[in-house]
Chains A and B, each alone.
Chain A
């Protein structure tokens, strides 16, 4: 299967890149990544000398599932803590040895045009394929006026992006922070500044936990903690939404997106691609399992593409964007009811407990612990489906046009009807 990717002119043998982060901090790691089969890397963010320093205590905090499954990871690591020249030399070597892979360099320097101009010249000499502007990191650097301090002000994004465009002919990717209210504005600003693409999301400001004995947030450095950047499987839904928001915004619809945020398996990647990302960047999954996961990702995506009859990424990138809409356009005449498969039911009663306590009292509990949906009360909220421990035991069944909805007493119609037409809407077209 052809997984060849072309991301705003940067070619890679597959759409799986390693995001700018510890896995791409050094030649040694990147070499291992390319040997393992990764399509590209975004080198760990470079800054100006003198290079920054990191804490010497723990850099990561975590949220675990019961079997220590890593659900979310939080870090207080800063950008690279090695001299600029060291990084540049290694980037050059890597690009020379792996010409078919994407090597993009992440950058973060102070908000002065000369600083950007200076570093961009040096990056170009390495032969790197492009740059990614780190306007995302929410910790440490943002307090120094960089990272998300830029990404949270659309005017700054536009200004700096324009400086960079003026200073280089390399493709420019702007990495966005999710620590904002509406992702469309930073994306539009990047586009206005001339960005070739955006990548998102960077990490979310977070405190993962507080030690109940020391009263200190984790990770603790000598009795104190600070907020870090949160990533991993837990942030994927937030990232998917932000990617979709940019993809379906008419102003940025044609702006290439590199999807980032909790991508752990090929399925996650496929979802990002369907929502408009042209490639994906992975970090936490690699930091949890090592680089070998790339084999699962490429094989899984290939097989799915074959099953769907897709020959290249272009065949399906953005296929789901048209299906993302605003709430007001959802069809209110689409009616479903929960259905419990009694053969699969193990009688735990969770559906009953949650429906009775927190929802619509639409499940009846019979004498022998048989649970049945009360159609007169069921609003089809899906909570029972979501809490049921048995897959496919509770499902949603669509009422067909002509059938009676016992809750509303109305016959289901095959006509569409959304909020814009609803009589209760003062702004309704029919009102």
Chain B
């Protein structure tokens, strides 16, 4: 097979679109509601009895109550209702796949396929309270107890805030230079505009009693044991730092990389015009990360963006809404298709695709897909070696209170089994672990 000369210019480059166009492409995915829109939307809520939306929310926010509070013209009271259950309610309002959580269960979704816009209403309320200078919650008198929280992602932050509220002193150890975890590094930029994740953490720390140490990795089991010595309790919100492996020839080629690295580069970029994208971008995977990487590379200027997913579309982890969003932005989704090999001369130039047998068809169709940039979004796993804690399917095993197999050590978020990779679930687990840690102090 003949490949073009490797000396040719790399087609993966920055500056494909004007900065004006890129700025337009990366505006808020869902513009916020204004006061009147919020009032009209809030009036659509039926204030259901034992509302199904509450049960569908991992943090069990009292959704009908906060919407009624918006309807009655008190968005800040509504925000308290939200934040009491979910201290990262502002972020979750932006990044939650509401279409497969609260809004999917909204009776108006069932009735007319037009649910109450719970996510947008939640954002309306939390934006208003965060615009206030003071933090809405008050810390209880200091207890003298101290807790180490490992990881400043959604689980760790939720745990830290709840513990601080109870009067305990919290030290958070974060391996990266910025707090926020997946919210800061792993979510598409158009979902969290205006450095919201950063601002939210600053606001959250307003409770007091939380010290965050960045660039402070907790790498070994020994480190954990030391923390257990130095603190009254330890919470692990490690997230998933390692990548699932793909056994495909050509992984070493240039311009083949993990999608999360690309997403992080986009999120952390000073100027989006500095981000290099190819002409033919192919994303391997079927989850939210795949969608975020694909859509963003399209918005930055890639000509053709294709998502290759090995299974059926219905099995993709990205919701139907996310798939539609990608399609709307011009991303092509090819299901039942697997990358069999990446090929190229130094740089990736094409992918050998194997299409699985689709029901009703015989045989396999082999294709060659042009690809000058490939993003792998095939899932992440716990950093090896897993701590010497009991694990389940490669993740930390916890009981219903978030307790690990090691006494005095709790865990939550993506690092625990089984895990659904949702920020909102991480918040719930961090919060509940904090409650259990607090209760355990009462026991001793």
Contact = CB atoms under 8 A, between A and B. Distances in A.
A347 B53 CA distance: 12
Given A66-B71, A369-B52, A390-B111, A350 B40 contact: no
Contacts of B46: 348, 350, 389
For chain A, give the interface size range. 10 to 19
B107 A348 contact: yes
A366 interface: no
Given A346-B108, A347-B107, A66 B39 contact: yes
Contacts of A389: 46
Contact of A352 (B49, B71, B107): B49
**Does more than half of chain A's interface fall in helix, strand or loop, or is it mixed?**
loop
B262 to A, nearest CB: 42
Interface string A209-247: 000000000000000000000000000000000000000
Nearest to B49: A349
Contacts of B107: 346-348
B42 interface: yes
Contact of B52 (A67, A347, A353, A365): A347
A62 B107 CA distance: 32
A410 interface: no
Q: Determine which residue in A65, A67, A347 has the highest number of CB atoms from chain B within 10 A of its CB, and name it.
A: A347
B361 interface: no
A92 to B, nearest CB: 46
Contacts, number: 38
A308 interface: no
B36 A68 contact: yes
Contact of A350 (B42, B48, B52, B111): B48
A353 B36 contact: no
Contacts of B50: 349, 365, 369
B441 interface: no
Interface string A341-382: 000001111101100000000000100010000000000000
B40 A346 contact: no
Contacts of B42: 66
Nearest to A352: B49
Contacts of A346: 107-108, 110-111
Interface string B83-122: 0000000000000000000000001101100000000000
Nearest 9 interchain pairs by C-beta: A349-B49, A66-B43, A353-B49, A346-B111, A348-B48, A348-B46, A346-B107, A348-B107, A67-B40
Interface of A: 65-68, 346-350, 352-353, 365, 369, 389-390
28 contacts: A65-B43, A66-B40, A66-B43, A67-B39, A67-B40, A67-B43, A68-B36, A346-B107, A346-B108, A346-B110, A346-B111, A347-B48, A347-B107, A347-B110, A348-B46, A348-B107, A349-B48, A349-B49, A349-B50, A350-B46, A350-B47, A350-B48, A350-B49, A352-B49, A353-B49, A365-B50, A369-B50, A389-B46
